[in-house]
Amino acid sequence: MAEPTRAEFTRRRAQLMRLMGANAIAVLPAAPVRMRNNDVEYDYRQDSDFYYLTGFPEPEAVAVLVPGRPVAQYVLFVRERHREREIWDGRRAGPAGATAQYGADDAFPIADIDEILPGLLEGRERVYYTMGLNPEFDHRVIGWVNRLRTQARSGLHAPQEFVSLNHLLHDMRLFKSRAELALMRRSGQIGAVAHLRAMRFCRPGRMEFEVMAELLHEFRRHGADTSYPPIVGSGPNSCVLHYRANNARLNEGDLLLVDAGCEYGYYASDITRTYPVNGRFTTEQRAVYEVVLEAQQAAIARVKPGNHWNEPHDAAVRTITAGLKRIGLLRGALPALIRSGAYKRFFMHRTGHWLGMDVHDVGDYKLEDEWRVFEPGMVLTVEPGIYIAAGSSGVPRRFWNIGVRIEDDVVVRPGGCEVLTGEVPREPDEIEALMAAA
Ligand code: GLY
Ligand code: MN
Ligand code: MN
């Protein structure tokens, strides 16, 4: 796996420390282990911010950045090596590994953090720490600062201010490095291969969960996992935006909407394809599909440096509203239909989101109340859709249960953007040819 190098993690910490300034300290806890039931844990996934700065995959760890501190600016608290626990649960780096393998300037057992951390906080003005994600750890951080405050009489100086790390760190995460883009490209490719497999597998009589199994098989055999629970919705389920049950039979004549992406090396892909269960679009399905495809192409064309965040969405709204009017599902003048939001009956979500270590990735969409302007290295999804639920009033029956979304991942490039997930077809003729050949 083309992981970011140790030097890249070092660069990230150095950049964050520069942004924080000399009087500050940052404290980041690893993700907690979460119990599924009794003594069974959920699969462990490191916290994205923590991993972004450390590359350290273990739980029960805390990273501390102390800019300008002469002895050690980057301190890691980690689990100690433990012969018996390692027999049961696998290897731990331990403090020695945290310095030797992960580049910490200094490392201590996590059990010693109460003794050591207040000393690191002492004399710093600002604590960069994101409150509210981990209430238990919030209390400990507040406790360490309060302990210092009570010692003010002995001349100790406690930090005066808590500042969320989100603003600085998430802006860094919004711009993907070359190494990150390599992982995202791979994540996109694996996701695309999985969708191809699902498309070939799809036919009447099979179950939605069988299609999901094909996706999972392809993710896992490439060393990837899901980046969110897959949505495999056929017929009426294609109109349920967050459908999760994935347990219906695929029926002749229905559409199948598959929204599934993988996580590879901590980076997500997020792909949706919609296709006919029997491999041939009906006239109405194709008409709706072509509007969504046209909207997606119009939106992707607006993803380029200098355009702002909402331009792809505006383009998708315009194309979808015009398309719905053309096929007779909306009536009226185009500008009025756009202004009144008439399209929201059928297109009720946004056209995309930032994508990265998290599927709905971090990063501001607005800066000082203005839509953010695209810059090279930002990654986002482009995912317009039209959903026509059964019973939609004023809509002919033959359009009911048609839910179409087409979603791809794109990275902003000088002059335009690059599609990371283009290896799975979008053109209806190509989809039909692929399914006919399966
Ligand atoms: N799969 C989540 C999304 O498309 O945003
Ligand atoms: Mn998405
Ligand atoms: Mn999606």
At 171 the pLDDT is 98
- For residue 155, give every residue at least 6 positions away whose Cβ sits within 8 Å of its Cβ, in sequence order, or none: none
The CA radius of gyration of the chain, in Å to the nearest whole number, is: 25
Query: Does the Cβ of 408 fall within 6 Å of ligand 1?
Result: no
As a whole number of angstroms, the distance between CA 52 and CA 169 comes to 9
pLDDT band at 152 (very low <50, low <70, confident <90, very high): confident
Tokens representing residue 64 in the block: 């501390």
Which residues on adjacent β-strands are paired with residue 29? 62
Using the mean position of ligand 2's atoms as its centre, give its distance from the Cα of residue 360 in Å.
7
- Measured N-to-C along each axis, helices 178-201 and 208-221 cross at an angle, to the nearest 10 degrees, of 140
The residue among 48, 46, 49, 103 whose CA lies nearest residue 76 is 103
Q: How many domains does the chain have?
A: 2
CATH of the domain at 86: 3.40.350.10
Name the domain boundary from 150, 172, 194: 172
Query: Does the Cβ of 137 fall within 6 Å of ligand 1?
Result: no
- State whether 167 and 182 are in the same domain: no
Residue 325 lies in a domain: yes
Residue type at 356 in one-letter notation: G
**What is the number of residues in the chain?**
438
Which residues on adjacent β-strands are paired with residue 260? 271
* DSSP conformation letters of 12-48: HHHHHHHHH-TTEEEEEEPPPP-EEETTEEPPP---H
Query: Does the Cβ of 228 fall within 6 Å of ligand 1?
Result: yes
As a whole number of angstroms, the distance between CA 183 and CA 185 comes to 5
Residue nearest atom 2 of ligand 1, based on CA coordinates: 270
The residue among 120, 162, 171 whose CA lies nearest residue 16 is 171
Query: Does the Cβ of 180 fall within 6 Å of ligand 1?
Result: no
- State whether 133 and 224 are in the same domain: no
Give the pLDDT confidence of 397-418 residue by residue, as tens digits: 999 999 999 999 999 999 999 9
Name the domain boundary from 123, 148, 172: 172
Residue 417 lies in a domain: yes
- State whether 182 and 92 are in the same domain: no
- Nearest-atom number in ligand 1 for the CA of 228 is 1
* Overall average pLDDT of the 143-167 stretch: 91
At 196 the pLDDT is 98
3-state secondary structure of 231: strand
Give the pLDDT confidence of 170-190 residue by residue, as tens digits: 999 999 999 999 999 999 999
Tokens representing residue 227 in the block: 């980046």
Tokens representing residue 351 in the block: 């056209």
Residue 151 lies in a domain: yes
Residue 91 lies in a domain: yes
The residue among 247, 249, 272 whose CA lies nearest residue 202 is 249
- State whether 168 and 179 are in the same domain: no
Residue 1 lies in a domain: no
Residue-number span of the structural domain to which 24 is assigned = 6-172
At 311 the pLDDT is 98
At 154 the pLDDT is 84
- State whether 232 and 246 are in the same domain: yes
CATH of the domain at 392: 3.90.230.10
At 1 the pLDDT is 61
pLDDT tops 90 at residue 153: no
Name the domain boundary from 130, 146, 172: 172
Using the mean position of ligand 3's atoms as its centre, give its distance from the Cα of residue 382 in Å.
9
At 3 the pLDDT is 81
Give the pLDDT confidence of 85-116 residue by residue, as tens digits: 999 999 999 999 999 999 999 999 999 999 99
- State whether 147 and 212 are in the same domain: no
Which residue has 């300034």 as its token pair? 21
Residue 387 lies in a domain: yes
Distance of CA 9 to the CA centre of its chain: 20
- State whether 144 and 244 are in the same domain: no
- To the nearest whole percent, how much of the chain has pLDDT over 90? 97
List phi, psi (to 5°) of 135: -55, -35
**Is residue 361 exposed (0-12), middle (13-18) or buried (19+ Cβ within 10 Å)?**
buried
- State whether 152 and 186 are in the same domain: no
- Nearest-atom number in ligand 1 for the CA of 231 is 1
Residue 120 lies in a domain: yes
- State whether 190 and 248 are in the same domain: yes
pLDDT tops 90 at residue 156: no
Residue 161 lies in a domain: yes
* DSSP conformation letters of 318-353: HHHHHHHHHTTSS-S-HHHHHHHTGGGGT--S-S--
Active site residues: 39, 242, 259, 270, 349, 353, 360, 383, 387, 405, 407
Using the mean position of ligand 2's atoms as its centre, give its distance from the Cα of residue 353 in Å.
6
pLDDT tops 90 at residue 379: yes
Number of CB atoms found within 10 A of residue 100's CB: 12
List phi, psi (to 5°) of 17: -65, -35
Tokens representing residue 40 in the block: 């069974």
Residue nearest atom 4 of ligand 1, based on CA coordinates: 270
User: Burial letters for 232-265: b for 16+ Cβ neighbours within 10 Å, e otherwise?
Assistant: bbbbbbbbeeebeebebebeeebbbbbbbbbbbb
- State whether 60 and 141 are in the same domain: yes
- Out of 241, 243, 359, 410, mutate this one to test ligand 1's pocket (max ligand atoms within 8 Å of CB): namely 359
332 phi-psi bin (left φ>0, alpha ψ -120 to 50, beta other): left
Query: Does the Cβ of 259 fall within 6 Å of ligand 1?
Result: yes
Work out the mean pLDDT of the chain and round it to a whole number: 97
* Overall average pLDDT of the 227-243 stretch: 98
At 189 the pLDDT is 98
Tokens representing residue 2 in the block: 């083309």
The residue among 73, 76, 77, 65 whose CA lies nearest residue 26 is 65
- State whether 209 and 339 are in the same domain: yes
pLDDT tops 90 at residue 285: yes
- Out of 355, 379, 407, mutate this one to test ligand 1's pocket (max ligand atoms within 8 Å of CB): namely 407
Which residue has 């996109």 as its token pair? 188
- State whether 208 and 301 are in the same domain: yes
At 318 the pLDDT is 98
The residue among 341, 351, 345 whose CA lies nearest residue 316 is 351
Residue type at 321 in one-letter notation: T
